[in-house]
A and B are shown apart, each in its own frame.
Chain A
Amino acid sequence: MVVNCEHVWREVSNYLDGEVDPELRAAMETHFKECKHCTAVLVGTRNVVQLYGNERMFELPAGFSHRLQRRLAQQSSSYGFRNVRSMWIMAVAAAALVVGGVALGNTVFRQPETKSPLAQTPHGIPPNLIVYVSDDSRVFHAPGCKYLHKHDDEPAKQMTASEAMKEGYVPCVRCLRQYLKAEVECPRPSLNSPQWARQSNVSAPPTL
């Protein structure tokens, strides 16, 4: 096998790396013995490979390792700091969520201030006042109140005001409004009115 210069130039790198087959290697070595130019190419290329591949070509700058370790440590610590900080942020956020949730719950689910006269605490009603209740209503009435539900088959039940309140009845805002704090317009006359007195045999309760 005979090789020319161009063939040698194409294969000189492979020759240095041992990537040519024995026949080509032998042919190239023969050529090198005869050709100064190709020998110059071979030696120059080998110099390139040897010098660049030498460890001394790229010496580490003084303190390189120390600075690298320090930077790694900084990143680790900042990573840790971020973790700690994020944990604190999460804790504070969770606390805020709980407090906010409670506050919101209070706002949403809190019983609104009782404004209805029906819900007012009937402090002014005499405990022994005789009142009437019916089974289909939670309101107790003074005798003769037109708003007392009356049933033919089942008469209104009589009890004292304290008993009615204990059982959960609330006063009628119309017939008992004089005992309540709230002012409610009532189309019915008061217990003290002559009309009430005429319709009822029960004397008007004393005013507290």
Chain B
Amino acid sequence: MGSLPQKMSIQVKSADPAEIREQGLIRRVQAGEKQVFYELVKPYERRIYSAAFAILRNEAEAEDAAQEAVLKALTHIQQFRADARFSTWLTQIAVNEALMKRRKAHTEIMEPIGEREEDDGTYTPRDFADWREIPSEVLERKEIRQKLADALSALAEKYRKVFVLRDIQHLSIEETAEALGISRASVKTRLLRARLMLRDLLAPGLGGAFFSRLPFEKGTKPW
């Protein structure tokens, strides 16, 4: 299956009780106890859903992609290697599933931002207005979340994948590099671009109407 990560050699360094329990569950599922697979997946439900939503920015499609990813992981559980991290493997499947779904849907009407840019070129920020930190409470508002998802979706795939794995899934630079099959340097460069592009994309809206009800200081942008 093309969308399944073929190679994963991230070593599990620590051996805390949760990881030991997880490894036990994996062995049971691999031995045929498929009914315990949900226990294995449950801690990562949000993670795989968020990975799918970040790419598809549609709740129903993201849920479907997440479910497909879980079913695919169950089907191919024998391919999972004991020295890999299950959460990373599962996340990769979810990312691949969402990307595949997105390509099928032909949702990229406009050219993604950064598609033609090379990794080693310098990205110059566009907005230098005064900024301040945004409280996480803004995420209670669904329209803010949707704007953030829309901005992420506008990025070229190579930047979006790195950003999703690194900043949403909180994988390390090494894990992200391993998962995508690219170098650490490429991860860093793409991540920088993704972050700066998102910042510029969100500046116009988040600087004005989106935060009109928030108590920002006069004359400053929240973004």
> In chain A, residues 123-145, which have Cβ atoms closer than 8 Å to a Cβ of chain B?
none
Is the CB of B177 closer than 8 A to any CB of chain A?
no
Is B139's CB under 8 angstroms from A49's CB?
Answer: no
Q: Are A53 and B168 in contact (CB under 8 A)?
A: yes
Q: How far is the CB of B106 from chain A (nearest CB, A)?
A: 24
> Which residues of chain A have C-beta atoms less than 8 A from B124's C-beta?
6, 9
- Interface residue A14 (Cβ < 8 Å from any Cβ of B): yes
> Which stretch in B80-88, B95-103, B110-118, B128-136 binds the other chain?
B128-136
Query: How far does the alpha carbon of A179 sit from the alpha carbon of B148 in the complex, in Å?
Result: 109
- Identify which of A10, A44, A53, A72 contacts B38 (C-beta below 8 A): A72
**A51-B136, A51-B148 known; A64-B63 Cβ under 8 A:** yes
Interface residue? A198 (CB, 8 A): no
Stretch at the interface among B6-14, B15-23, B193-201: B193-201
Q: Does A57 contact B (CB under 8 A)?
A: yes
| B122:A9 contact, CB within 8 angstroms | yes
- CB of B49 within 8 A of CB of A58, answer yes
B113-157: which have CB < 8 Å to A? 122-125, 127-134, 136, 138-140, 145, 148, 152
A40 touches B46 (CB 8 A): no
Question: Does B59 count as interface, using CB distance less than 8 angstroms?
Answer: yes
- Choose among B53, B74, B131, B152 the residue that contacts A44 (Cβ–Cβ < 8 A): B131
Also in contact, A75 and B71, with CB within 8 A (given A41-B128, A57-B145, A64-B49): yes
Cβ-based interface call for B54 (8 A): yes
* Complexed CA–CA distance, A58 and B164 (Å): 12
Picked from B38, B50, B67, B128, the residue with its CB within 8 Å of the CB of A58 is B50
Which residue of A is nearest B223, CB measured?
A44
State the CA gap A37–B221 with chains docked (Å).
12
Q: By the criterion CB–CB under 8 Å, are A52 and B163 in contact? A: yes
Decide: A68 and B45 in contact? CB cutoff 8 A. yes
How far does the alpha carbon of A48 sit from the alpha carbon of B222 in the complex, in Å? 11
B122 A58 Cβ-Cβ under 8 A: no
Let me know if B67 and A45 touch, CB within 8 A.
no
Residue of A at shortest CB range from B132?
A43
Residue ID in chain A nearest B168 by CB atoms: A52
Which residue of chain A is the closest to B172 with respect to CB atoms?
A17
Return the contact of A60 from the options B49, B67, B196 (Cβ within 8 A).
B49
Tell me which residues across on chain A come within 8 A of B54, comparing CB atoms: 52, 58
**Which residues of B are found within 8 Å of A36, using beta-carbon distances?**
128, 130
A29 interface residue per 8 A CB criterion: no
The answer to whether A52 touches B152 (Cβ under 8 A) is yes
**Identity of the chain A residue whose Cβ is nearest the Cβ of B47 in the assembled complex:** A58
A10, A52, A59 pick with most chain B CB within 10 angstroms: A52
**Is the pair A68, B148 in contact by a Cβ cutoff of 8 Å?**
no
| Bound form: Cα–Cα A37–B128 in Å | 5
A151 surroundings in chain B (CB, below 8 A): none
Q: How many angstroms from the CA of A79 to the CA of B33 in the assembled complex? A: 13
Q: 8 Å CB contacts to A: which residues of B148-204?
A: 148, 152, 163, 167-168, 170, 173, 188, 191-192, 195-196, 198-199, 202-203
Which of chain A's residues have a CB closer than 8 A to the CB of B49?
58, 60-61, 64
Q: Which B residues are closer than 8 A to A by beta carbons?
A: 34-35, 37-38, 41-42, 45-46, 49-50, 53-54, 59, 63, 66-67, 70-71, 74, 122-125, 127-134, 136, 138-140, 145, 148, 152, 163, 167-168, 170, 173, 188, 191-192, 195-196, 198-199, 202-203, 221-223
List the 5 closest A-B pairs by CB distance, nearest first: A58-B50, A13-B192, A37-B128, A44-B199, A56-B139
